[in-house]
């Protein structure tokens, strides 16, 4: 059976129900128990969980680009380590059901087993003896594990963390080998300055001089509307753009929205135009048919615009682009696969300023002023910047930190190494 989060969690059977059962609490506690608990709570309050999160991020987000010979070299070292471990041990044990839900302050045998597992992965320092306490060291280890797997860093063994812990060692080794080949191919064709979008990680890197100068969280294509893999050049930044709704979205989404809410277009300031450029009203379209695809739907600039304050254009045959979004909350999710193929970029103002620096007069405050002032302008880049949309599910950095992501489009499962260019 193909490994997915859904079938793994389904196979856990009654895990959720079992963990939801209330614990049997003693009616009375001794005075010693009370003061032991009080002391423990005081100690927990002193643990610097934010510091643990910062440390975890610093071990993952180093300056080397994901597409680089440095990463390729680091991957080879990771492959050797995984092969040696598998040869000696076969694999690591999957987490038991008692591991699910573990958090700071818990005390149970599963915490000791989790410590051993995180020591194997390098998320905790190797120690001969471990106890059953979910202490500061285990909190730091879980947060590093979460950072390496692109998860929300909360220090808890939640559903996404439990799933990542359950992936076998040989599966991870296969990811490392596949992605080492992919990175070697992309690294050979890179220029000094470029933008790289890693689809499985839903991240964007701005690279210059073989170093990451900006890293952005992204939202990318759904499984059934995948972001294409391509090499192109960014040629234009549009400020406060109109959004012309693609025909695929009209057919798959907009008609349905209008049947559910006839005021949908009015609420989101989307206007309709016929082939001669004449504006028509929503009431002139038969929404029980596909009649709407014959028209052009255009959303006015503004806070509700699907592209937010900025659109970044690059050459491609798929009609995809990078853009801002009013749905900022999506950037805080574990799995950011919500678009129809385009890439939404968090903090796009800094990326736009970096792209436009050769035009003169554009810096971050200038870009932000254009956003806030509603400037409607299309700016051609004086120097076009290469962009590579890629598919990397495993990589390693110079600190020896190995990162993994889910095989969202099933390219790993298919063993695909070579991708055709768009």
* C-alpha radius of gyration, the chain, whole number: 25
* Residue 207 tokens, joined: 């690279």
- Token readout for 45 is 């309050």
Q: Write the Ramachandran bin of 156: left for phi over 0, alpha for psi from -120 to 50, otherwise beta.
A: beta
Closest among 400, 3, 410 to 171, alpha carbons compared = 3
pLDDT digits (tens, 9 = 90+) for 185-211: 998 889 999 999 999 999 999 999 999
Lowest mean pLDDT among 126-130, 165-169, 212-216: 126-130
Q: How confident is the model at residue 42 (pLDDT cuts 50, 70, 90)?
A: low
Buried b / exposed e along 314-344 (16+ C-beta atoms within 10 A): bebebebbbbbbeeeebbeebebbbbbbbbb
Phi, psi at 212, each rounded to 5°: -75, 120
Q: Report the pLDDT value the prediction gives residue 11, as an integer from 0 to 100.
A: 40
3-state secondary structure of 207: strand
Name the pairing type of β-strands 211-221 and 296-299: unpaired
First and final C-alpha spacing in the chain: 32
Q: How far is CA 143 from CA 58, 181, 214, in A?
A: 12, 29, 23
Residue 112 CB partners (closer than 8 Å, separation 6+): 130, 131, 132
d(CA 266, CA 282): 9
pLDDT of 421: 57
Q: pLDDT, tens digit, for every residue of 48-97? A: 899 999 999 999 999 999 999 999 999 999 999 999 999 999 999 999 99
Cα distances (angstroms) measured from residue 321 to each of 135, 222, 241, 303, 416? 45, 15, 12, 19, 24
Residue-range domains of the chain with CATH:
191-404 (2.40.440.10)
Question: What distance in Å separates the CA atoms of residue 277 and residue 272, rounded to the nearest whole number?
Answer: 9
Answer whether residue 40 shows pLDDT above 90: no
Tokens 């591991």 correspond to what residue? 99
Q: Against a cut of 0.75, is the pTM above it?
A: yes
Predicted local distance difference test score (pLDDT) of residue 45: 64
Nearest to 408 by CA among 229, 224, 231, 230: 224
Q: Are 344 and 330 in contact (CB under 8 A)?
A: yes
Q: Mean of the pLDDT values across residues 140-150?
A: 97
Average pLDDT over residues 7-28: 36
pLDDT in tens, 358-412: 998 999 999 999 999 999 999 999 999 999 999 999 999 999 999 999 999 999 9
Position 22 scores a pLDDT of: 31
Return the DSSP state at 175: H
């Amino acid at each position: 059976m193909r490994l997915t989060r859904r079938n793994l969690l389904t196979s856990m059977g009654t895990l959720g129900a079992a963990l939801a059962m209330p614990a049997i609490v003693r009616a009375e506690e001794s005075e010693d128990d009370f003061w032991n608990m009080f002391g423990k709570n005081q100690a927990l309050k002193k643990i610097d969980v934010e510091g643990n999160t910062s440390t975890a991020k610093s071990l993952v987000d180093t300056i080397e680009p994901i597409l680089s010979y440095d990463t390729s070299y680091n991957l080879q070292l990771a492959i050797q380590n995984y092969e040696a471990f598998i040869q000696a041990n076969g694999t690591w044990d999957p987490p038991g059901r008692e591991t699910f839900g573990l958090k700071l302050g818990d005390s149970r045998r599963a915490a000791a087993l989790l410590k051993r597992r995180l020591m194997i992965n390098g998320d905790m320092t190797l120690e001969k003896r471990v106890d059953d306490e979910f202490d500061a060291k285990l909190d730091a280890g879980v947060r590093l594990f979460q950072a390496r797997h692109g998860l929300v860093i909360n220090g808890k063994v939640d559903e996404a963390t439990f799933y990542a812990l359950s992936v076998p060692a040989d599966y991870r080794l296969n990811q490392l080998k596949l992605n080492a080949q992919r990175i070697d191919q992309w690294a050979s064709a890179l220029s000094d300055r470029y933008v790289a979008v890693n689809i499985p990680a839903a991240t964007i890197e701005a690279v210059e001089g073989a170093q990451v100068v900006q890293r952005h969280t992204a939202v990318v294509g759904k499984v059934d509307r995948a972001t294409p893999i391509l090499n192109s050049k960014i040629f234009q930044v549009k400020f406060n753009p109109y959004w012309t709704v693609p025909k695929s979205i009209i057919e798959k989404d907009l008609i349905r929205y209008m049947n559910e809410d006839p005021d949908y277009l009015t609420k989101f300031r989307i206007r309709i135009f016929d082939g001669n450029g004449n504006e028509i009203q929503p009431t002139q379209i038969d929404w029980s048919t596909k009649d709407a695809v014959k028209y052009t739907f255009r959303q006015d600039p503004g806070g509700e615009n699907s592209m937010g304050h900025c659109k970044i254009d690059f050459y491609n045959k798929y009609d995809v682009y990078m853009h801002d979004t009013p749905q900022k909350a999506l950037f805080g999710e574990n799995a950011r696969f919500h678009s129809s193929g385009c890439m939404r970029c968090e903090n796009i103002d800094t990326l736009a300023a970096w792209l436009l620096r050769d035009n003169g007069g554009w810096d971050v405050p200038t870009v932000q002023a254009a956003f806030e002032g509603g400037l409607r302008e299309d700016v051609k880049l004086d120097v076009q910047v290469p962009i590579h949309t890629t598919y990397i599910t495993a990589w390693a950095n110079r600190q020896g930190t190995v990162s993994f992501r889910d095989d969202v489009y099933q390219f790993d499962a298919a063993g695909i190494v070579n991708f055709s260019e768009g």
